């Protein structure tokens, strides 16, 4: 019996290790080719070609850019704190990758002997873990700016940290109304609720809009890219970084976009739920169902990534006072009003 339990535990650990490796690989792949998509979409919007030299249609351009970063000279300022200077980009990358572990990426594969969940950790406090990890991401920016011993980098890091902290508040408040409806912090339970009652965006359009605007700010995307305002602060909090340390910061931004898109798809758009299709009535292969639900999830994520890119090349950057006014004077009151109205309606309807 003990040997059987040990074997089962070994298979469970192996399954999770494979899933973690697949998620890391998927995150890097999406981050690489989101950079290409951004440049292609920007070219289309500006009536030009975009990258088209490295491979057919420029599909090898991300590999060329990554290779260039690997072989560029690596410079560490002599007056910097070396340990923290290295910790900053590493922390930004680690935080960006860890967030994906609690997201359900597809329907579980139900085999003859065991069930394999397409989720690394299906914990009861899933969405709180997401917010807890995201809140740590501010240290990657702050440490990198401070450890560089550059006043421009420090100023940009302070602005970035205050921006992220400010927009975490309305983001969390907008989520409370969703929690009222689903009654659970578990990410898989939120998906199952939407499969039975309809997507949350139908009941919480204002909550979704607030969450999406805050996600733009959390990812430092236009019009909220004040920490990287080149015309004001040279190159932002990573002014002193080069080679792959700079690459980690740039990759972390795109991985954060990918994970934020997955979180929005899970919370408001049913996650891996296939529209107008009853997954419980599926009579075919369980493997095919898992693949279909994963493909639907990635389609929703791709849609949000397109929105991130579209907004960047459409809306100009805010001034810093406009950015803070929007967060504190507009989004927080709207999120509070949405939360109170949602609570009142649920209380009234459940009588």
The pLDDT tens digits of the residues spanning 160-173 come to: 888 888 898 899 89
Judge whether 61 and 39 are in contact, CB under 8 Å: yes
Q: What is the pLDDT of residue 1?
A: 47
Q: Which of 135-149, 172-186, 272-286, 305-319 has the lowest mean pLDDT?
A: 272-286
Mean predicted lDDT score pLDDT of the chain = 85
Q: What is the pLDDT of residue 124?
A: 84
Q: What is the pLDDT of residue 5?
A: 44
Higher pLDDT, 230 or 348: 348
Q: Which of 175-179, 287-291, 322-326, 330-334 has the lowest mean pLDDT?
A: 287-291
Residue 200 pLDDT grade (very low, low, confident, very high; cuts 50, 70, 90): very high
Higher pLDDT, 37 or 285: 37
Asked if residue 334 has pLDDT above 70, the reply is yes
- Residues 223, 220: Cα–Cα separation, whole Å: 8
Residue 208 pLDDT grade (very low, low, confident, very high; cuts 50, 70, 90): very high
275: left (phi over 0), alpha (psi -120 to 50) or beta: beta
For residues 86-97, average pLDDT: 87
Residue 331 pLDDT grade (very low, low, confident, very high; cuts 50, 70, 90): very high
Contacts of 121-128 with C-beta under 8 Å, sequence gap 24+, read: 122/186, 122/187, 122/188, 123/186, 124/184, 124/185, 124/186, 125/185, 125/186, 126/102, 126/185, 126/186, 126/187, 126/188, 127/102, 127/175, 127/179, 127/185, 127/187, 127/190, 127/267, 128/185
Q: What is the pLDDT of residue 112?
A: 67
Please state, for a pLDDT cut of 70, what percent of the chain lies above it: 93
For residues 104-108, average pLDDT: 86
Q: What angle do CA 322, 325, 330 make, to 5 degrees?
A: 125
For residues 192-211, average pLDDT: 91
Asked if residue 187 has pLDDT above 80, the reply is yes
Q: What is the pLDDT of residue 227?
A: 65
Q: What is the pLDDT of residue 76?
A: 83
Asked if residue 230 has pLDDT above 80, the reply is no
Asked if residue 68 has pLDDT above 90, the reply is no
Asked if residue 141 has pLDDT above 90, the reply is no
Asked if residue 231 has pLDDT above 80, the reply is no
Which residues does 115 contact at the CB level (< 8 Å), separation at least 6? Answer: 108, 109
Per-domain boundaries in the chain: 66-349
For residues 270-298, average pLDDT: 83
For residues 306-311, average pLDDT: 92
Asked if residue 304 has pLDDT above 70, the reply is yes
Q: Which of 2-11, 60-69, 239-248 has the lowest mean pLDDT?
A: 2-11
- Residues 266, 195: Cα–Cα separation, whole Å: 11
**pTM of the entire predicted model:** 0.90
Query: How is residue 285 written in tokens?
Result: 């292969």
For residues 314-332, average pLDDT: 88
Phi, psi of 319 (to 5 degrees): -75, 160
Asked if residue 73 has pLDDT above 60, the reply is yes
For the ranges 96-100, 140-144, 212-216, 250-254, the one whose mean pLDDT is highest: 212-216
């Amino acid at each position: 019996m003990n040997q059987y339990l040990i074997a089962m535990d070994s298979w469970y650990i192996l399954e999770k290790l494979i899933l973690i490796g697949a998620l890391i690989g998927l995150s890097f792949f999406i981050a690489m080719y989101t950079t290409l998509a951004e440049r292609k979409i920007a070219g289309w919007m500006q009536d030009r070609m975009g990258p088209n030299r490295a491979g057919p249609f420029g599909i090898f351009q991300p590999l060329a850019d990554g290779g260039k970063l690997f072989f560029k000279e690596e410079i560490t300022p002599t007056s910097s704190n070396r340990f923290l200077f290295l910790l900053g980009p590493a922390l930004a990358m680690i935080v960006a990758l860890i967030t994906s572990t609690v997201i359900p990426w597809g329907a579980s594969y139900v085999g003859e002997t065991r069930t394999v969940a397409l989720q690394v950790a299906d914990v009861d406090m899933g969405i709180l873990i997401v917010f807890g990890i995201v809140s740590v991401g501010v240290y990657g920016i702050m440490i990198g700016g401070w450890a560089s011993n550059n006043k421009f980098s420090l100023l940009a890091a302070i602005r970035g940290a205050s921006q992220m902290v400010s927009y975490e508040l309305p983001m969390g408040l907008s989520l409370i109304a969703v929690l009222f409806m689903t009654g659970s912090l578990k990410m898989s339970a939120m998906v199952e609720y939407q499969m039975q009652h309809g997507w949350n965006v139908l009941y919480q359009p204002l909550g979704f809009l607030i969450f999406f605007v805050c996600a733009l700010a959390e990812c430092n995307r236009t019009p909220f890219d004040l920490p990287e305002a080149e015309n004001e602060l040279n190159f932002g909090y990573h002014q002193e970084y080069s080679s792959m340390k700079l690459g980690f910061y740039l990759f972390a931004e795109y991985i954060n976009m990918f994970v934020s898109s997955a979180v929005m798809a899970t919370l408001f758009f049913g996650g891996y739920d296939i529209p107008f299709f009853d997954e419980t009535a599926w009579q075919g292969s369980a493997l095919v169902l898992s693949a279909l639900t994963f493909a639907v999830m990635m389609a929703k994520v791709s849609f949000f990534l397109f929105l991130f890119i579209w907004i960047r090349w459409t809306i100009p950057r805010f001034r810093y006072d406009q950015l803070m006014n929007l967060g504190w004077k507009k989004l927080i009151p709207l999120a509070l009003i949405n939360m109170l109205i949602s609570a009142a309606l649920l209380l009234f309807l459940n009588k």
